[in-house]
Structure 1
Amino acid sequence: MKFVESAAHIAADEMSKVNNDLVYAYVQLIKFLSLYPTAASTPRGCSSASIGSVEYIRKQARVFSEGRVPKKPKPPKTIPDEMVSVILVSYFEISEADTGRIQREHALSMGAENIVGDLLERYIASILEPRGWIWCSGAIVKAVDFIKPPSDREEVWTSLQVKNRDNSENSSSSAIRLGTDIKKWHRTFSRKIGSNWGAFPDPTLASLLSEEGFKEFVTKYLQSLN
């Protein structure tokens, strides 16, 4: 698996046709994948272009951009299991008249829960990207949500995976991969109250990230969708 020559120049040209504001970020992403092609996620669809080809770079430019389009919370479309209501009434002593409301509220809760991870990435991106990091929007990189190009003081790329909770599913790959460690961080804990912002793996930015900041970001983001 190898990327074509001048992949970065191709990336710049293709992204300029999609979203000129994302040219720099996309070029950095393609530079990263050119160095570590096995980190590239398999493109969706049976007729997807081979990883590293000109067609791949063209198609992924749109995926990268579309991954940043605002998303609205959506309740799941699955039909609820009526046996749940039977259990609520028979064991938990919930009024049968309340089961319909509980079903609706549960669906809304699930819709809200399903979008928290996306909102978390957007919030972190709003702080990190102006400071040199790149949000890997569109799930183009395996098990990595953010990358940071090498600086004058660093010789390797930094890669980061973020999760909403400490019991969220993680990739089985860990330790050394892509020629560098994948840093992993989670926002909340499954068995205790509190957040984990103070342990954010970039100590220079940890003080800029907080639960209060996240709540403010989410509130403004959702209000802008109405």
Structure 2
Amino acid sequence: MKLREAISTLGPDQAINTAMLIAQQYNINWNDGIGDVFYVIANDLERVPGNIGGNSDNESSAIEKWIRKYEAGRASCASMRTSNLPGTIADPIIEQIIGARISRLNRNDLNLITYAHRLGMSAENILGLILEEYLSVNLRDFGWHCAWGETVKSVDFVHESGRLLQIKNRSNSENSSSSAVRNGTEIEKWFRIRANTGQYMWESLNFICETTHLSEQEFSNFVRATISSNPGCLAIELSNPWI
């Protein structure tokens, strides 16, 4: 049984009660955000992720999988995770292409470029996670809670009032699902930086969330503090000559 069918069968109220009991069994504080997030999917089946639940699940076990997915997402936040090393090797032809275009570069220069690129990709892989955690830390007191582990379809944050928010790092990373609606209410959207100009969009997020303290400087401080306290968040190969 898929989660959507489980919630549909139980109805919103019973689904919420079931989720509360399961959360209690896992010693999860229902009032620490998870309840507000589950309320969204319990009352809007269009927001239920389609990848939770299977043939062997009943209503209770499908909801339990959602709760475990939410908790796994929260436990994998940037300040707590150990990221995996790149699972691929660099293609040697890339260095040949660059070397053919800039002939003054020697073998060591090209090797440094290769590993700088790999390091940059590793940083890009965790940027979204750091942004998500920064917002979670700074918005929870304003009634916004993170839908950890992609537990609400097309939504990253939910407000205690029922508002929905999708966040992206760059303007060119938005996708078609961002136009989805909930009961006729548009999912609010925000991106951190305008890709073609480099303009930061924190002012618009402060307006959406009715705050004043979110800024690029504060986010930069959070990035440095997060990596300093948890270096393993950024995976670096031992063979990387930059370390």
Unmatched tracts of structure 2, length 5 or more: 232-243
- Separation (CA, whole Å) in 1 of partners of 2:209 and 2:159: 14
Which moves more between the two structures, 31-40 or 12-21?
12-21
- Separation (CA, whole Å) in 1 of partners of 2:10 and 2:52: 20
Aligned match of 2:236: none
Which moves more between the two structures, 84-93 or 96-105?
96-105
Aligned match of 1:16: 24
CA contact (8 A) 1:43 1:49 kept: no
Alpha-carbon deviation of 1:11? 1.6
Given the superposition, is the C-alpha separation of residues 76 and 3 from structure 1 closer, same or farther in structure 2, using an over 3 Å criterion? farther
Aligned match of 2:138: 127
Aligned match of 1:187: 192
- Separation (CA, whole Å) in 2 of partners of 1:219 and 1:3: 47
- Superposition CA RMSD, Å: 2.2
Q: How many residues align?
A: 217
Q: Pick 1 or 2: higher relative contact order, CA cutoff 8 A, min separation 6.
A: 2
Alpha-carbon deviation of 1:9? 2.0
CA contact (8 A) 2:44 2:182 kept: no
Given the superposition, is the C-alpha separation of residues 72 and 3 from structure 1 closer, same or farther in structure 2, using an over 3 Å criterion? farther
- Separation (CA, whole Å) in 2 of partners of 1:21 and 1:223: 29
Alpha-carbon deviation of 1:22? 5.3
Aligned match of 2:40: 32
Aligned match of 2:240: none
Aligned match of 1:153: none
Describe the SS at the equivalent of 2:172: coil
CA contact (8 A) 1:74 1:111 kept: no
Unmatched tracts of structure 1, length 5 or more: 151-156
Normalized per residue, which structure has more helix?
Answer: 2
* Of 77, 80, 84, the match for 2:87: 77
* Of 115, 122, 132, the match for 1:111: 122
TM-score (norm 1): 0.86
* Of 223, 226, 235, the match for 1:221: 226
Output one character per residue of 1:172-226: Cα deviation in whole Å (capped at 9) or x when no partner.
4516334311011000121213311001152512x12111111111222222214
Aligned match of 1:154: none
* Of 118, 137, 160, the match for 1:149: 160
Matched, 1:163 2:188: no
Given the superposition, is the C-alpha separation of residues 221 and 97 from structure 1 closer, same or farther in structure 2, using an over 3 Å criterion? closer
CA contact (8 A) 2:52 2:66 kept: no
- Separation (CA, whole Å) in 1 of partners of 2:27 and 2:183: 28
- Separation (CA, whole Å) in 1 of partners of 2:184 and 2:81: 33
Describe the SS at the equivalent of 1:67: helix
Given the superposition, is the C-alpha separation of residues 203 and 64 from structure 1 closer, same or farther in structure 2, using an over 3 Å criterion? closer
The correspondence of residues 46-125 of structure 1 with structure 2, limited to 5 A, is 49=57, 53-69=59-75, 70-93=80-103, 94-125=105-136
Given the superposition, is the C-alpha separation of residues 172 and 25 from structure 1 closer, same or farther in structure 2, using an over 3 Å criterion? closer
- Separation (CA, whole Å) in 1 of partners of 2:222 and 2:138: 11
- Look up the equivalent residue of 1:7 and give its one-letter code: A
- Separation (CA, whole Å) in 2 of partners of 1:44 and 1:36: 16
- Separation (CA, whole Å) in 2 of partners of 1:97 and 1:47: 55
